[in-house]
Chain A
């Protein structure tokens, strides 16, 4: 079949989204991209904690309500995955940790006092949520944030929609989270360059993807220096203080969602534990440690 690569980009979930796919005509491809964009917009509208009309806002408003809030199958599945992340990270990847952002203001470079942190900590803990049938009961003032999961999920879901529309060769890049629709023609992989957080326009590594996805997590985009100390925006939900582990991690896995969860768990752990966690996963990965050394396995040379 006479297909050539078509590229489209648009903004979604606060980031740059690029779709590449092989199609006979740009018109065919555009229909696919429309469906992909609609799916990402649907998930953004449903799960953004920054939108007043999102379902996550409804959930957060429901905190302390005796009747709780009714959650649909998709949201329940996200909670189930979030619970797995919570368990696999020994409580360090916690979707209820978002309330710490009220005291850690990364635009004002202000370090909160221990007293402020101690006030917030009781509001954190996935295990404080309770589920009965299709309802969620959340204690007062707690909040949930699917930000660490939904973008990767949206990339996977977009790729599945494209496959359902008959696309065999394509790639979705949702703000650095990649999901393969299908390999390049001739069963050739997509080569994804992982940016070096230290140096502009240079690559830390290249990873070949035939299927599945690649996701990254890093603290280089948002951090501040205070009294010569580096404060990462990745916060430890148990202590309320920034994590002092790896600087940046990218992981390739069978799904972008899995890659994202593995990468985030590597970031929230202590540096050496994070590196071990990546090794034990046996997944292709690259990381930058606090000394700015680059390591990893399964990378393209």
Chain B
């Protein structure tokens, strides 16, 4: 849409856009889009001081994502997603203490891990006068993991489309069957169930700004431990809550939009976290957009986190040295480019992420080994027809 210059014009456009015949209700896509994205995610090598023996390489993952969105009737659209990931590298196997009593990490297998993940997801959206209803079904498979999931979501607009409320529910049933279970005395086959419900409300404040707030509740039950760790015992159920907020504002003089998001998370493992991110969506001309992003994240440790595995502890007692359960902070920055070339759209995104206990906003009583830092780069193309 054209950028409106005068205050009067904004006033006239605001009331005109509220007219029911003009107000943009939900509409199914009128075009089909086919997109493909390739991403590489590479964790930094660990240092020799953290890993006295063996390989230092961690995960290196290539991801291929295909998506087709297509209208199938006046009120309906379908969406098909197919993803393929190939992973190599190593993950922490167990932690122990070094010669000076400092925690050290031992990575899994000298030859590292190789795995592939394939996923397919099919969804459909039905558009109503003042909202939409959608459902999706998905299946994902790895050498040692299988997940089947579905979700439903309804959205309703009120107040001349200035307010929308959305409710959703999803369920996932996962099976875990670790490789080389016999050799390493791993569990044979376990399962896990996740149930999630969420509600969100979005409000258009004026022509230039909007606000959204969402609450999501999740309950997981079953085998929640890491089967590849020598010792990792976690509770069999977990309840989590997250509260997300986002504010967007368009600056017409700069021809740019500012997005700020804040998310609070808490679960009954004892982890609480805060995430704040900000991005600036700068339009350059009609077809180029440059988006710098910064993000800060910090979490507290799970109640049973340890940085040195305790092999003497009874297996009925919880413990895990997974760095993702430790208290830490992380800073990441990224730069995205989007080029709109008529029927084609190309995107390039890059991200650098660094986790460190020094960045933590929470008290760090046990410093985790093997906190991750990574680079991510992805390139995507989209074709509309």
- Give A contacts to B, CB under 8 Å: 39, 43, 73-74, 77-78, 80-81, 83-85, 87-88, 153-154, 156-157, 160-161, 163-166, 168, 187, 211-212, 253-255, 257-258, 261-262, 277, 280-283
Q: Quick check: B30 and A163 within 8 Å, CB to CB? A: yes
CA distance A43 to B20 in the complex (A): 12
How long is the Cα–Cα vector from A163 to B2 in the complex, in angstroms? 19
Q: Would A77 and B12 count as touching, CB distance under 8 A?
A: no
Task: Using known A-B contacts A254-B1, A254-B13, determine if residue A280 contacts B19 with beta carbons closer than 8 Å.
Answer: no
Q: How far is the CB of A175 from chain B (nearest CB, A)?
A: 17
- Asked if A166 meets B1 with Cβ closer than 8 Å, knowing A255-B13, A280-B6, the reply is no
Interface 1/0 per residue, B1-38 and A, CB below 8 Å = 11011101101111111111110100100110000000
Contact between A74 and B19 (Cβ–Cβ < 8 Å)?
A: yes
CB distance from B123 to the nearest CB of A (A): 21
Establish whether residues A77 and B8, one from each chain, have CB atoms under 8 Å apart when the complex forms: no
Complex Cα distance, B22 from A161, in Å, reads 9
Instruction: Give Cα A254–Cα B6 distance, bound, in whole angstroms.
Output: 13
Interfacial residues of chain B within 187-243, with CB under 8 A of chain A in the complex? none
**Residues of chain B within 8 A of A212, CB atoms compared:** 1-2
Closest to A158 in B: B21
The answer to whether A258 touches B9, judged by C-beta atoms less than 8 angstroms apart, is yes
A77 contacts B74, CB within 8 Å?
Answer: no
Task: Find out whether the CB atom of A87 lies under 8 angstroms from the CB atom of B11.
Answer: yes
With A77-B160, A163-B27 as given contacts, are A157 and B21 in contact (CB-CB < 8 Å)? yes
A280–B160 CB distance below 8 A: no
Does B19 contact A77, Cβ atoms closer than 8 Å? yes
**B20 contacts A85, C-beta separation under 8 Å:** no
Task: Please give, as numbers and ranges, the residues of chain A lying within 8 Å of B285 by CB-CB distance.
Answer: none
Chain B residues with CB under 8 Å of A211's CB are 1-2
Residues of chain B contacted by A156 (CB below 8 angstroms): 16, 19, 21-22
Pick from A84, A161, A280: contact of B14, CB under 8 Å: A84
Contact B9 A74 (CB under 8 A): no
A83 contacts across to B, CB distance below 8 A: 15
* B71 at the A interface (CB under 8 A): yes
19 more CB-based (< 8 A) A-B contacts, given A154-B21, A166-B74: A73-B20, A78-B19, A80-B15, A80-B18, A85-B12, A88-B8, A88-B12, A157-B19, A160-B22, A163-B27, A212-B2, A254-B2, A254-B13, A255-B13, A257-B19, A261-B16, A277-B8, A282-B5, A283-B2
In the complex, what residues of A have CB within 8 A of residue B5's CB? 280-282
Say yes or no for B342: interface residue by CB 8 A criterion. yes
- A80 vs B19: C-alpha distance when bound (angstroms): 9
How far is it, in angstroms, between the C-alpha of A206 and the C-alpha of B330 when the chains are bound? 57
**In whole angstroms, how far apart are the Cα atoms of A120 and B31 in the complex?**
55
Query: Complex formed: what's the CA distance from A161 to B129 in Å?
Result: 12
CB proximity of B130 to chain A, nearest CB, Å: 11
Do A74 and B2 touch across chains, with their CB atoms under 8 A apart?
no
A43 to B19, CA, bound (A): 12
A88 neighbours in B (Cβ, 8 Å) = 8, 11-12
Decide if B21 touches A84 in the complex (CB within 8 Å): no
Q: How far is the CA of A161 from the CA of B23 in the complex (A)?
A: 11
CB distance from B253 to the nearest CB of A (A): 12
**Which of B2, B15, B31 neighbours the largest number of chain A CB atoms within 10 Å of its CB?**
B15
- Contact B15 A84, beta carbon cutoff 8 Å: yes
Question: What residues of B have a CB within 8 angstroms of the CB of A163 in the complex?
Answer: 27, 30
Supply 17 A–B pairs (Cβ within 8 Å), ascending by A: A78-B19, A81-B12, A88-B12, A153-B21, A153-B22, A156-B19, A157-B19, A160-B22, A160-B24, A161-B21, A163-B30, A164-B27, A211-B2, A253-B9, A257-B19, A258-B13, A262-B12
A211, closest chain B residue (CB): B1
A87 to B71, CA, bound (A): 43
Nearest opposing residue in chain B for A79, CB measure: B15
Q: 6 smallest A-B Cβ distances: which pairs?
A: A157-B21, A282-B5, A81-B15, A257-B16, A84-B15, A88-B8
Q: Is the CB of A84 within 8 A of B19?
A: no
Assembled-state Cα–Cα distance A71/B5 (Å): 33
Closest A residue to B73 by CB, please name it: A166
The chain B residue with its CB closest to the CB of A87 is: B11
